[in-house]
Structure 1
Amino acid sequence: MNNTPCLAAFGCAAALSLSAHSANAEPAANWSALDDIVAANEYGMISSIVVSRDGEILHENYFDDEPDALRNTRSVTKTITGALIGLAIQEGHIGTVGEPVLDHILHTPANPDPRKDAMTIEALLTMSGPLECDDSNPASRGREDRMYIIEDWVGFFLDLPVRGFPAWVPKPEDSPYGRSFSYCTAGTVALGAVIESATGEPMEDFARRTLFDPLGIGAVEWQFSPLGLAMGGGGLGLTSRDYEKVGRLYANGGSFEGRQILTPDWVAQSISPKADVTGQDGVEYGYLWWLRDYSANGQSYRAAQMSGFGGNKVIIVPDLGLVTVITKIDFGQRGAHQQAEEVFEKHVLPLALADSE
């Protein structure tokens, strides 16, 4: 996505462009030095940092002095919705990601089209659905901010027309992985309706039973649509430590403290590239995970990211067992994502590598 300002309170497109703060920034010599840099607001308004490796906390600091705060990290929520789809498949409520969305939602959509009928769960997990929905385009009918002024958010999405492809936009058949990426919060909201319909449980209850309780996550704060659907596209409040637990689950192949919560295959599929992010060199997309490389000490490391408006990040490097949570409150500020990514690449990653030596 780009850095288009977003007025929405819940999700918003997450810009994942490469680091642009200061290409020559010297890495902090130790964790205390990093804290001083962050406290001086050199990377915007960072509220917390939590770093773990192989389940051990390497460093954490709360720059707002609120370690127990439930942090609204906006679109970071989307990745948790992806986990819930995986858990619904594990329990047999959904067969495969290839099932049509409309098989699970009772709705007769406007603008009927066979391609809409065939739209799969996987298409929404990969932000490559057929409907005209693009949060980064102010002209898009499916833009997130337009959804919030409608009572029925799921209906809003399903009623959208099929998208067109002008000459300057790559068609799916001409795109890597056969998918044309278009970031769409409303589609992730619809996945919440799929979860509720398939499982017969409110999404928040299903999440509690299958994900939060097994991870030892206590207090959570959901946002809800006007019709009472838990907002799977953004706005979920968890503590920074609890976001670390979600990241650790994926960094460890779906296992958490000896318990297999997600299947290794679901985790592997989720953080494998499924679509190329248009306009962002080197950035790909999995099942509601952003994928890119980071460099430190002359080596490149593949990372997967949960990302939300304002520069909020949960970054995992599975090969290192590394999880980093960076929460920010720079909502609407240009460069917020780049700042968080540079904190990770220029400071956190080298320090974490040094700690393992």
Structure 2
Amino acid sequence: MEEAIASGAAPDTTSVLIARDGKLVYERYFNGGGRDVLNNPRSLTKSVTALLVGAAIDRGLIAGPQAKVYGFFPDRTWRNDDPRKRVFAVEDLLTMSSQWECDDENEFSSGHEERMYLSADWTQFVLDLPMKGYAPWMRRPQDSPHGRAFAYCTAGAFLLGAIVERAASKPLDAFAREALEGPLGIRQSAWGKSSEGVGMGGGGTSYRSRDLAKFGQLLLDQGRWQGRQIVSAAWVRAMTTVHAQARDDADYGYLIWRFRFDAHGKKRDAWAMSGNGGNYVFVLPEEKLVAVITRTRYNQRDMHQQSHKLLADYILKAMP
């Protein structure tokens, strides 16, 4: 694998870490990476936000995944009002299946993340989004697997961070330190903020590679870390249950992807915290494996496929 990285098979790889049975068994850094370097794994942050939503639910700060989204913003009004907005639930944002016209894979979409980044008030931008329409060739929710029409929407994940802030009555980074980072022994992180000062729950938080591995281990161990329950096992089970079909080759839980890889002739489920650049925390429950791959191959073709090949062609093939 190291030879493949050196020869350019996965350009701009900065670290690869592997934990098996709860122990760190491999750790290498490349291309300016290092043990104390804070990586910016972009949208991988979304999975951290899902953990924070679970921590807020565990504390009774959010009633549950069926809590109504717009109910958290009684002090605001919004454009494009529609009865369907009144029933938007937290779960719709966790599963990328809200009915806002929001699709980061369509540059013409009203809710495209780049439009949000340019707005003076990201929260208002999201609340104002129009409802989605369906062309004849588009799959409607009722015709989709799991009853959800998936569309990748960073704006929805950002709003989840805003909801956690309101529910916890503190900034998102402060709640993250209290609920996740402190208990996991994470002492360094960097959270970005929106134009209006809300934590960027949709992406951009920076962590050390070892600390990213801790998030993976937390998922693998059903919310426990060193004997302490950090997030409820029920929430981790809900996060790592398929709720939507993202693509023909990928499913989606609560702000986390599920892929399938070959391991010794058998298909293995791999839950994946994923971000631009080819950044990943892979969690394979059947193999008791966590693999962290950090890269800075931002916005480049094949960045994700290259990281998948590192896992499939080298890490999984090396396992006994």
Pairwise TM-score range, normalised by the shorter structure: over 0.9
Say if 2:298 is the partner of 1:331: yes
SS in 2 for 1:241: helix
Q: Distance in 2 between matches of 1:179 and 1:86?
A: 21
Q: Does the CA-based 8 Å contact 1:252-1:321 persist in structure 2? A: no
Say if 2:148 is the partner of 1:179: yes
Q: Distance in 2 between matches of 1:99 and 1:296?
A: 39
Partner residue of 1:348?
315
Q: Distance in 2 between matches of 1:261 and 1:319?
A: 22
Match of 1:41 among 2, 5, 8: 8
The CA deviation string for residues 170-189 of structure 1, in whole angstroms up to 9 with x for no partner, is 10000011000010001111
Q: Distance in 1 between matches of 2:137 and 2:264?
A: 38
Amino acid at match of 1:312: N
Partner residue of 2:225?
256
- Deviation (angstroms), 1:274: 0.3
Q: Distance in 1 between matches of 2:150 and 2:33?
A: 39
Say if 2:156 is the partner of 1:156: no
Match of 1:82 among 44, 47, 50: 50
Match of 2:88 among 119, 133, 153: 119
Higher relative contact order (CA 8 A, sep 6+): 1
The CA deviation string for residues 286-316 of structure 1, in whole angstroms up to 9 with x for no partner, is 0001011110211111110010011111100
- Deviation (angstroms), 1:42: 1.6
SS in 1 for 2:138: coil
- Deviation (angstroms), 1:165: 1.0
Q: Does the CA-based 8 Å contact 1:276-1:285 persist in structure 2? A: yes
Match of 1:229 among 186, 198, 203: 198
- Deviation (angstroms), 1:39: 2.1
Q: Does the CA-based 8 Å contact 1:70-1:220 persist in structure 2? A: yes
SS in 2 for 1:220: coil
Partner residue of 1:320?
287
Q: TM-score, normalised by structure 2?
A: 0.98
Q: TM-score, normalised by structure 1?
A: 0.88
* Segment drifting more, 62-71 vs 263-272: 62-71
Q: Distance in 2 between matches of 1:240 and 1:65?
A: 9
The CA deviation string for residues 293-348 of structure 1, in whole angstroms up to 9 with x for no partner, is 11021111111001001111110001222100001111121000000001001111
Partner residue of 2:157?
188
The runs of 4+ residues in structure 1 deviating greater than 6 Å are: none
Q: Distance in 2 between matches of 1:281 and 1:171?
A: 16
The CA deviation string for residues 66-121 of structure 1, in whole angstroms up to 9 with x for no partner, is 22100000000000000000000000001111011111123211000010111110
Q: Evaluate the alpha carbon distance shift between residue 65 and residue 220 of structure 1 in structure 2; reply closer, same or farther with a 3 A threshold.
A: closer
- Structure 2: runs of 5+ lacking an equivalent: none
SS in 1 for 2:282: strand
SS in 1 for 2:64: coil
SS in 2 for 1:237: coil
- Deviation (angstroms), 1:282: 2.8
**Residues paired across the two proteins, number:** 318
The CA deviation string for residues 32-61 of structure 1, in whole angstroms up to 9 with x for no partner, is xx2122122222221100100121111110
SS in 1 for 2:35: coil
Q: Distance in 1 between matches of 2:215 and 2:125?
A: 30
Q: Distance in 2 between matches of 1:96 and 1:66?
A: 39
Amino acid at match of 1:213: G
Q: Distance in 2 between matches of 1:259 and 1:235?
A: 28
Amino acid at match of 1:330: R
